[in-house]
Amino acid sequence: MFVIGIETCGRCGGAVKVIAGIEDPTNNERDQSWMYTPMPWLKFYVSGCPRDRIVIFVLLIADSKTLLYDHNKEEQMNRFIGNWKITEMGQWDQDYIDLIEPGYFGFDRDGMGEFVFGTVNGFMDCRYDNNKDAKRVEFSWDGTCEHDPVCGRGWFEVKATDQIYGELFIHNGDESWVKAVKR
């Protein structure tokens, strides 16, 4: 529920501070944490004691890009969502890439993903570039290699509608460029 909170002056009972946000339904007490997810596009602040006629009011409204949902981020994600078959890697040949199963990178709508090649598998935490013209994702990952824990980072860029190119780094280990095509 959208709410507006009002703090009052202890001296005269007049409104001193007005805050807009979304009410936290799990909080039964009305304390400092009575709301969560403040609206970045709507901020009220009234200060001063109305009795002394010292009142300052500020209303800030950000541009439409910050309104509740970032359509540009969704557009950037959609370029990557799905599975991409690894066609080539700089460090390993195709026989190793497809050793256990066909090597791939998969990106989910929730900003997560996974990959498998050779004896390496990993789970990714992805960050999509918010630049309107960019076609890039960066990620950190953790997983296993021959049942030993490994982690690292990487990135991909869309090179064509159905092709991505990037690099995969294993922390304190190998690194390789990667080419993949949409499955």
What CA–CA distance (Å, rounded) separates 76 from 19? 33
Q: For 138, what's the count of Cα atoms within 13 Å in the CB-facing half-sphere? A: 4
The predicted structure's pLDDT at residue 73: 56
Whether residues 46 and 80 fall in one domain:
no
Whether residues 41 and 87 fall in one domain:
no
Whether residues 96 and 53 fall in one domain:
no
* Residue pair 34/6 in contact by the 8 Å Cβ criterion: no
| Single residue among 46, 66, 86 that ends a domain in this structure | 66
Rg of the Cα atoms in the chain: 25
Whether residues 170 and 83 fall in one domain:
yes
Is beta strand 175-182 parallel, antiparallel or unpaired with respect to 148-160? unpaired
The predicted structure's pLDDT at residue 132: 59
Whether residues 121 and 83 fall in one domain:
yes
Whether residues 59 and 86 fall in one domain:
no
Count: domains in the chain: 2
pLDDT in tens, the chain (183 residues): 445 555 555 566 555 555 555 544 555 554 444 444 444 444 444 444 545 444 344 444 444 444 344 555 565 567 889 999 999 999 999 999 999 999 999 999 888 999 999 999 999 999 987 765 568 999 999 999 999 999 999 999 998 889 999 999 999 999 999 999 998
Whether residues 90 and 166 fall in one domain:
yes
Query: Residue 44's CB: how many other CB atoms inside 10 A?
Result: 17
Whether residues 107 and 149 fall in one domain:
yes
Name the residue range of residue 152's domain: 72-182
Whether residues 30 and 110 fall in one domain:
no
Whether residues 126 and 164 fall in one domain:
yes
Query: Residue 49's CB: how many other CB atoms inside 10 A?
Result: 17
The predicted structure's pLDDT at residue 107: 94
